[in-house]
Amino acid sequence: MALHYYDHGLTELFRHPSFIRSLVTEIIAEPWVKLLDLNSMRVEDGVHKEIAEPSRFSDLVISFSCTSQSEYEGFSIYLLIEFQSSREPMSLRLLEYLSRVYRRQVKTGTSRYGPLHPVVPIVIYNGEAPWKENTAFLSRFLRLPPSLKPYIPDFRYFLLDEGRFNPQLLSRLKGASAAFIKLDTIDKPEKTEEAARKIISILKQLWKREPEAAKLLSKYVEGLLAHRGIDNPAVSEYINNRRRPMFAQRLDRALDNKWKEGLKQGIEKGIAEGKREGTIREKQTVLLRLLSRKFELVPPDKELVTACENPEKLDAALDVILFAAEKDAVLKELRQE
């Protein structure tokens, strides 16, 4: 049940261009990603059984053409994506999968001796314990004479260990894969009220940018909660309402208006309070509280506020926070010379 749910649920998500686009551009973000023509994404047919374990399958093979603006036009890059919910040695399994993908390229090509296209192995892991295996295949050889190294396959896989992904970076990412990681790593989902607030916030943001991806992720959330035996009525109600677009839009609009009105009143009260109290420390405290209500703060933001001991700069920041659309518009008041 667990393997069936996890493998098939994620395979369905990552067959969608939004999740792959977010995965390569936001999560992987290595130099070769710039070569990809993201509109040329193809889900390759078939899966690749591993001989040693007939019940196992590699999960997903995606291919891209290189952009016409690069010197590699006509070249293809493949992604071999393996989903893991438990810590298992992957290098040998991936070696088998890679061999099969390369052999498929030969079968579909015009020549048995024609050029091959590179395959990037990717492991997406959502287990609680940190990943254990070194991602480089050569690390499996503890004592390798240098003269033998040219005869050993030299590859590594890209590891996405969800639970160890940089939380500050994750908070800044807005794509579908980032939303998936945020949902998949919610701590203590059995605390339904707290989890509901987080889940609905993540889904709501994705609905605004990529509705089709949000539909798929909502379906995944329903399966995830059911798989874990968690009944969360608030999440279920939100997702069901979202399936009725007109109602959902009105609901979101009403919630947004209510939240913004409450936030405005709170900020106005806080500004008055901060200026009335007058001390630098109190101004810093009020400014931090208001910034935290309206924006996501990272440690450098907090350090900037607490380091500012100029009351005029703090007052200027308090003046602009109410109508600021971005936190930088507030923080730049503290950076003024």
Q: What is the largest CA-CA distance in the chain?
A: 80
Do 21 and 157 fall within a single domain? yes
Summarize pLDDT for 68-90 with one digit per residue, the tens.
888 888 889 999 999 888 888 99
Mean pLDDT in residue range 192-219: 90
Do 125 and 267 fall within a single domain? no
pLDDT score at 23: 96
Do 6 and 154 fall within a single domain? yes
More confident call, 123 vs 274: 123
Residue 315 has pLDDT above 60, yes or no: yes
Rounded distance between C-alpha atoms, residue 83 and residue 15, angstroms: 13
Residue with tokens 């050569």: 138
pLDDT score at 238: 87
Q: Which of 95, 130, 164 is the last residue of a domain?
A: 164
Q: Containing domain of residue 308, as a range?
A: 263-335
Q: Which of 164, 180, 204 is the last residue of a domain?
A: 164
Top-ranked range on mean pLDDT: pick from 40-49, 119-128, 230-239, 263-272: 119-128
Is-contact 85 2, C-beta < 8 A?
yes
Q: How many Å separate Cα 149 from the centre of its chain? A: 36
Residue 171 domain flag: no
Share of the chain above pLDDT 90, in %: 36
Share of the chain above pLDDT 70, in %: 81
Do 154 and 300 fall within a single domain? no
Is-contact 164 130, C-beta < 8 A?
yes
CA distances from residue 46 to 6, 16, 301, 312 in whole angstroms, order as listed: 19, 17, 49, 65
Overall pTM > 0.75: no
DSSP 8-state code for residue 25: I
Do 9 and 158 fall within a single domain? yes
Mean pLDDT in residue range 323-332: 81
Do 134 and 267 fall within a single domain? no
When mean pLDDT is compared across 140-144, 191-195, 210-214, the lowest value belongs to 191-195
Is-contact 52 206, C-beta < 8 A?
no
Report which of 188, 80, 90, 182 is spatially closest to residue 131, judged by C-alpha positions. Answer: 90
More confident call, 330 vs 2: 330
Do 134 and 270 fall within a single domain? no
Number of separate domains in the chain:
2
Q: How many residues does the chain have?
A: 337
Residue 93 domain flag: yes
Reading the block at residue 301, the tokens are 């933001």
Residue 249 domain flag: no
Summarize pLDDT for 54-66 with one digit per residue, the tens.
445 457 899 999 9
pLDDT score at 55: 47
Do 294 and 160 fall within a single domain? no
User: What is the phi-psi region of residue 96: left when phi exceeds 0, alpha when psi lies from -120 to 50, beta otherwise?
Assistant: alpha
Do 155 and 21 fall within a single domain? yes
Residue 51 has pLDDT above 50, yes or no: no
Residue 183 domain flag: no
Summarize pLDDT for 222-269 with one digit per residue, the tens.
887 877 778 888 888 888 888 665 444 554 555 555 555 555 555 555
Rounded distance between C-alpha atoms, residue 178 and residue 69, angstroms: 28
In one-letter notation, the amino acid at residue 109 is G
What's the N-to-C CA distance of the chain in angstroms? Answer: 61
Residue 325 has pLDDT above 80, yes or no: no
Q: Name, in order, each residue with C-beta under 8 angstroms of 269's C-beta and a sequence gap of 6 or more.
A: none
Long-range contacts, stretch 191-198, CB < 8 angstroms, 24+ apart = 192/230, 192/231, 192/232, 192/233, 192/234, 192/235, 193/234, 195/230, 195/232, 195/235, 196/232, 196/234, 196/235, 196/238
Q: Which of 164, 188, 222 is the last residue of a domain?
A: 164
The pLDDT confidence band at residue 132, using thresholds 50, 70 and 90, is very high
- Quickly count: other Cβ atoms within 10 Å of residue 287's Cβ: 25
The pLDDT confidence band at residue 110, using thresholds 50, 70 and 90, is low
Residue 207 has pLDDT above 60, yes or no: yes
Rounded distance between C-alpha atoms, residue 266 and residue 273, angstroms: 10
Residue 210 domain flag: no
Residue 272 has pLDDT above 60, yes or no: no
**Mean pLDDT computed over every residue of the chain:** 82
Reading the block at residue 279, the tokens are 């001390």
Residue 48 has pLDDT above 60, yes or no: no
Q: Which residues of 210-219 are buried (b: 16+ CB within 10 A; e: fewer)?
A: beebbbbbbe
Do 151 and 270 fall within a single domain? no
pLDDT score at 287: 84
Residue 50 has pLDDT above 90, yes or no: no
Residue 140 domain flag: yes
The pLDDT confidence band at residue 141, using thresholds 50, 70 and 90, is very high
Rounded distance between C-alpha atoms, residue 306 and residue 43, angstroms: 50
Residue 192 domain flag: no
Residue 204 domain flag: no
In one-letter notation, the amino acid at residue 234 is A
In one-letter notation, the amino acid at residue 172 is R
Rounded distance between C-alpha atoms, residue 92 and residue 89, angstroms: 7
pLDDT score at 267: 54
